[in-house]
Structure 1
Amino acid sequence: MTDENPPPPKPGSSLGSHLAAIRNDRGYSLRQVEGLTNNIISNAYLSQIESGKIQQPSPNILHALANVYRISYEQLMEMAGFIVGNREKGDVSHGRAATFAELNLSEDEERELLEYLKFRRGLKG
Structure 2
Amino acid sequence: MTKRKFIVIVVGIVLVIILGIGGKVYMDNKRFNGEMVNVVKSGQAKKEIEIGLKNLDSKALTPEGVIRSYEIDYESIEHNPMGAIMFDVIINKDDKLVAKFDLNNHSNIVEVGGIGLSENLSELVKGVEYD
**What's the TM-score bracket when you normalise by the shorter of the two chains?**
under 0.3
Higher helix share: 1
Higher-Rg member (1/2): 2
TM-score calculated relative to the size of structure 2? 0.22
Greater relative CO (CA pairs within 8 A, separation 6+): 1
Higher strand share: 2
